[in-house]
A and B are shown apart, each in its own frame.
Chain A
Amino acid sequence: MGHKNRHVGIIGIGQTTYSSHREDVNQPEMIQEAVALALKDSGLKIDDIECVVHGNMELFEMIHQPDIWHVLGDGGYGKDAYRITTGGTTGITLVAAADNLVASGMYDIVMAIGFEKLQEGHTTGGITNMADPLWGRSLQTGALTGATAKDMINEFGEDRARRAAMRHRITLDKHAKLNPNSHRSFGLEYDQVEDLMDNSPKLVGELRLIHMCSQSDGACAMIFASEKKAKELSKHPVWIRDHITVHREETFNLFGHDVPELTHHYAARKLFERNGIKVPREYFDVFEMYDPSSWWGLDWLREFLLLEGDEHLRMIENDDISINGSFPLNPSGGVISANPIGATAMVRVAEAAMQIRGDAGGHQIPREVKHALASGFGGTMWTVLFMLEKELGWEEID
């Protein structure tokens, strides 16, 4: 059984549509939409859920302990309940917690809920608060940085790097167009690369508005069950093979000339090692990456897939990452297209699971998906990485 006590299956998924305009609902009402959809998807009643794990970002809506209020809509009344908040990774940490709670034997069926109503607060202002109040808070601008753009321009040349980042952006925009839940899809075309990379407003350095993720309202709920229950209750459970969480520094460190191994690379290396995955690019059929900007999405492809040199750029340039390509990246449209932050990282796992089930709808990859990878990102380079499988019976490595 490897290092897990028992197998855990994903048996229910519910997502609201993502939008910048949800004046029609308050927070628990918005969450309720996702909970109702997850229950419907699983065929369960709220009474079947033993435990609710709930989370979002701190300070984004400035509601203290929102989980208490949200019992109005999340079905947590009278149940064991936990609140988790770990920054941008919150959504996927919720999945990790639910997986651990079921695998441990503590509960057979757990529901995890991630949400955000970014319209209600100031996202960048909220993120700036992650910095040390006596130092970095005066200097930081939320999650906006041009550092990665600069590094890539230095490594690959200005023209190639900027084109690759825009091509990544346009590919994801095309994916978002296929996903009815997506907050934004502009209908971008590849012939707009030059116009956009020069004319989209600058945020920080070469990070432009078009590269950066949206600020969305929305919620995602997922239901997890033990192997026995999952097989009883679900026609198509998706199995959580393994997950890893890595973070390294308490502060957002910008290193000088010596850059240590980044958390994404470290997490991927460790996770693939202990699961015997030699060539991740060949093993996985889809990758739902937490890509807050196109520069990061592009750079991190190399980190997560343990690639060398410019292979990640070539993957973009050759359209390998498109939904019809050899390695589909974010068929959902990714974080750039919809980012209700506390739900965002959970949506990566949910979307990866939907690809395995084969019922992602308009953005379903047009071939069988057996192995999926999903990542979360947050805070001072937190990384959470998940492996999902269609079938049990993978080879365990100790």
Chain B
Amino acid sequence: MTTEHEHCYVVDGKLALPYQYLAGRVGSKFIVSLRDKKQILGVKCEKCGIVFVPPRQTCEKCLADLTKSWVELSDKGEVTNFTVVRKDDKHHPRKAPFVIALVKLEGADTPMAHIVEGIAPEKVAIGMKVKAVFAKTPTNTILDIDHFEPI
């Protein structure tokens, strides 16, 4: 087959639609607690012995109902992995470069993705201790923790 490019061109377009996301009872309790009490909540599966953060309605392994198994967590944790975002995009929460890290809070078994600030990206390291800095104005999202910063 020959490759012919005459008449072939690329047209700029858009895909734009309205959406809404519903956090549900479990997710809403988590966000409202962050926003109003500066308190990070998780849930614990007694059977599997796992503390999940952010919380979820059921244990992904045994499908047990976790809606009554709330645990309060520390606002401190450690970086278990991270990446440096170096390209700007309108959907990103910060201007590049910035650090997205997996932060495992004290008492949690699952790490949570969040922004790490207050340190040069090249100095971020796995194992680093960090602390949550809560947002001054509510966002009704996970960004009610504004970011984590080194202790």
Contacts and interface: CB of A to CB of B under 8 A. Distances in A.
Contacts of A133: 11, 13
B1 interface: no
Interface stretch (B34-42, B57-65, B134-142): B57-65
Contacts, number: 70
Nearest to B15: A129
A249 interface: no
Contact of B57 (A23, A25, A119, A120): A25
Given A120-B19, A125-B17, A129-B15, A71 B24 contact: no
A119 B20 contact: yes
Nearest to A73: B58
Interface in B13-48: 13, 15, 17-27
Contact of A120 (B13, B22, B58, B61): B22
B56 interface: yes
A77 interface: yes
Contacts of B17: 59, 62, 121-122, 125-126
Interface residues of A, number: 30
Given A59-B17, A129-B15, A134-B11, A23 B24 contact: yes
Contact of B60 (A22, A24, A61, A71): A71
| Residue in A26, A28, A35, A73 with the greatest tally of chain B CB atoms within 10 Å | A26
A122 B58 CA distance: 28
B11 A23 contact: no
A32 to B, nearest CB: 5
B23 A75 contact: no
Contacts of B21: 26, 61, 120
B60 A72 contact: yes
B19 A36 contact: no
A73 B66 CA distance: 11
A36 B62 CA distance: 11
Contacts of A71: 60
A117 B19 CA distance: 11
Interface of A: 22-26, 28-29, 32, 35-36, 39, 46, 59, 61-62, 71-73, 75, 77, 117, 119-122, 125-126, 129, 133-134
Interface of B: 11, 13, 15, 17-27, 56-58, 60-63
Given A24-B25, A72-B57, A121-B19, 4 more contacts: A29-B56, A119-B22, A121-B18, A122-B19
